Amino acid sequence: MVARVKKNDIVSVRAGKDRGKEGVVIAILPKKDKVMVKGIALVKKHVKARKQGDIACIKEQESFISLSKVMPMCASCNKACRVNAKSLEGGKVVRMCNRCKETF
Ligand SMILES: [Zn+2]
C-alpha cells in the first residue's frame, strides 16, 4: 500500500462544508484516516489567557477531516485524481495519477 495523501500535498476537498476548496496538507493521522488541511474545516476555539500578557480570544483553527473527503491534486493534469500505486524497479512503490498515469 502507498499513502494516497502526504504532508505538503495540495488536495481538493470533495465533501463537507468546504467542498470544492483546495489546500495544503499540514498534518495526517494515518491510523485514523484523518487529515488536516490549511484553511479547511475551520472551527472556532475559545482560548483562555494562560499567563500574564495573554489575551483570551476566539481563535479559528483547522480541524481533522476524514481522508476520504480529500483527493490529491495531480501536478501534471491539474485535477483532483484517484491514486494508483506503481512499482518501480528495485521494489519502490510510487503514486500514479489514475487520469494521466503520471507518477508523483
Ligand atoms: Zn494527472
Quick: pLDDT tens for 37-51. 999 999 999 999 999
Give pTM, 2 decimals: 0.86
How many CB atoms are closer than 10 A to CB 26? 14
Nearest to 69 by CA among 21, 12, 14, 17: 14
Distance 51 CA to ligand 1 centre (A): 49
Distance 83 CA to ligand 1 centre (A): 9
All structural domains of the chain, each given as residue ranges with its CATH number in brackets, are 10-76 (2.30.30)
Quick: pLDDT tens for 50-72. 999 999 999 999 999 999 999 99
Distance 17 CA to ligand 1 centre (A): 25
In this predicted structure, the answer to whether residue 36 has a pLDDT above a threshold of 90 is: yes
Distance 79 CA to ligand 1 centre (A): 7
